[in-house]
Structure 1
């Protein structure tokens, strides 16, 4: 059952891909109007967790959005229930223009928030007729985030939004997410600890498909303790 004040509640979520068991009974609460950041080394199940919540991966366990079970719904109905998703590696449609990419995120019965998107990403307004494939990696990430924000949602799920970006663009993305976090609940996977520290209200650490630690964003201050949760040495970047 969803905890009072939670937008998303996950209980005993397990997932298998092929013959490999990826998630082992994950429990997760995402409080309303806060940003929850999932941390973990590569290959421990972070993206699989997000995709399981969305129904892209066959999984067992309970998933509730605003107290309503959604774990038996197909992906498109989970999205209609109020979830927006910004995938890892952006997944923009390269042969379509910026505006056409954004238009794909419009939802029936809602007024699309183009004013918000172009206010957050003024560069996209200037490039709305440009093919997305000709944009830089940072600009493509802006398109991906813009699609996620175009329609109102209860939960914005973002998978590694700063991956592969220059430090300047990383900070631009962080600044945008900091602006929108007051109006939307965010569940995010992020490997950049500086970015995570600026955004996280809550932190969940995953190792080998299970939650090994959780707490407030203050967890990110103690890097030695965090290295212990992540299973990395002092010489390794976290």
Structure 2
């Protein structure tokens, strides 16, 4: 921008100097060709061109040019730095555009491959959906069987309140405190043993039921 301003000012001053010189030469020619009286009047109204006038105009041009040259030098470093920064940004943007174009080409290639194999993919998807529905149905059946098994095991603990009540009655009927405590501890141990056995049975049976259903689904 600064360089353009300087160049424009120089061109303008050159044009002004050429016009001034042409005008002076024209006046000088008219002065030499005219008669004595008119010659005297014209020379009084206009000054003939001289070397000093030309030198003064040239000096004025160089003075103005020096002013713009100083401005250009002042902002030249900042302009160069800004230009370098712009070039770096352009290089980065160019690299990003190339990356996007590469990714777009890869996506188009994958899309073309997927479109070419679309029918087979749809058939495969339908088959997988059917197998998944069968497996889901088998899993639901396994869960239902497991719930029934848990209900059956829980029925064994339905008599626990009666057992506790009986233990309390026995404890009240015993005269010796120590004997009642021992009996109560024995019954508690029996209850804990039953609970542990039921839990272990659940842990053993559940994987077997689920594994059997999964094997059945895979075989089908």
Same-fold status (TM-score > 0.5):
no
Larger relative CO (CA 8 A, sep 6+): 1 or 2? 1
1 or 2, which has the higher strand percentage? 1
Range of TM-score over shorter length: under 0.3
Q: What TM-score comes out, normalization by structure 2 length?
A: 0.17
Greater gyration radius? 2
Q: Which structure's residues are more often helix, by fraction?
A: 2
